[in-house]
Amino acid sequence: MAHRIIISGGGTGGHIFPAIAIANALKNIAPDTEILFVGANGKMEMERVPAAGYEIVGLDIVGINRQSLLKNIGLPFKMLKSMWKARKVLKEFKAEAAIGVGGYASGPLLMMANMMGLPTFIQEQNSFAGVTNKKLGAKAKRICVAYEGMDRFFPADRILLTGNPIRKSSVAIEGKREEAIHAFGLDVAKRTVLVTGGSLGALTLNDCIQAGIPDLVAQGIQVIWQCGSYYHEKLQAEIGEQLPESIKLMPFLERMDYAYAAADVIVARAGAGTISELCVIGKPVILVPSPNVSDDHQTKNALALVKKDAAIMVKDTEARGALVKEIIALMQDSAKQAQLGEEIKKLALPDADEVIANEVLELIKK
């Protein structure tokens, strides 16, 4: 008999990608599984999920506005309305289970599923659990986590260390270095750093690289610089014509596998999805956690690696003075590079999507 499963959450690529990866794994293992997504109206999942071939229903739910308390007046009403709609969706779809991956929509959907006595599953991507997931975890059948020590937040007997689902195409870098270097128009004989602020870009990283270009060029270091579409036009206007051949500025990276394959050292933010990919890549990493995320998740994610000598961390507030110096120092220390690459690789959990999908299917059967 075909299983009917709802997956909810979104808001950012860090939530949407794992959700789609779990859906794909469920379909691979049990092709007749019927899957429905539930997201938040106006958020990127409403476009990304249909593009991946799945149906999605939107709830009118938003997060707490921490800047203006007045804007939260309608929140309880929106929550009740979303829970009522979630109940309708669960009943009409005849769902057997609900999986929450984080993001606004997973709260009302999983709360309602719990109230209706349906088995629920949580995929917690960060090393520090969010408020909603902590509440939902009390009744979840299984909490799939990416870090050790999560029994601080969830019942220990229901935690499963799975890792975060990753984009398999992005981490398939074996034997691609030369091909990748040529694709970027760089020199195979030179050392290369990849700087990525994610799809939206990161102002701090962009400022650091812009100011550090003379020092990086003087050291013979090539840069693949993914600055984000939001910042690209301004940077192109300011420095585009003066950029040396060894600095490749681009709004986003079509081929993440090439970027990872070309790099000797990687500089990135510390989002959960990014870190999971970096562990599988197994190259030396400098993390600059974003300060603009709830509960300072990214710093906690980065520290989990730093404690295991698996990454270097530079605080966002200190990056403008320290980041380029740190890149140059690491580029000159091949022993440190090898050690960091070795330690981060030990943390890799490449098959999270399949492990989670199998667990969900097993527990539904029971």
The DSSP string of 323-349 is HHHHHHHHHT-HHHHHHHHHHHHTT--
Tens-digit pLDDT profile for residues 66-118 = 666 666 676 677 778 888 999 999 999 999 999 999 888 899 999 999 999 99
CB distance 125 to 109 below 8 Å: no
pTM (2 d.p.): 0.87
CA distance 77 to 86: 14
Who contacts 197 (Cβ-Cβ below 8 Å, separation ≥6)? 203, 205, 206, 226, 227, 228, 268, 269
Instruction: Specify whether the CB–CB gap between 284 and 337 falls below 8 A.
Output: yes
State the pLDDT at residue 64.
59
pLDDT tens per residue across span 109-155: 999 999 999 999 999 998 888 888 899 999 999 999 999 899 999 99
- For residue 44, how many other CB atoms are within 10 A of its CB? 17
Domains annotated for the chain, with CATH where assigned, are 4-165+350-365 (3.40.50.2000), 169-345 (3.40.50.2000)
State the helix-helix crossing angle for 272-281 and 13-29, rounded to 10 degrees.
60
Q: Is 13 annotated as a binding residue?
A: yes
Residue 167 marked in a binding site = yes
CB 145 within 8 A of CB 152: no
| Spatial distance between the Cα atoms of 17 and 131, rounded to a whole number of angstroms | 21
CA distances from residue 352 to 41, 89, 119, 174, 356 in whole angstroms, order as listed: 28, 27, 20, 20, 6
Does the annotation flag 14 for ligand binding? yes
Is residue 162 a known part of a binding site? no
Rounded to an integer, what distance in angstroms lies between the CA atom of residue 245 and that of residue 136? 51
List Cβ neighbours of 254 (8 Å cut-off, separation of 6 or more): none
Alpha-carbon gap, residue 180 to 39, rounded angstroms: 36
The reported pLDDT for the residue numbered 143 is 97
Residue 12 annotated as binding site = yes
Q: What is the pLDDT of residues 315-352, one digit of tens each?
A: 999 999 999 999 999 999 999 999 999 999 999 999 99
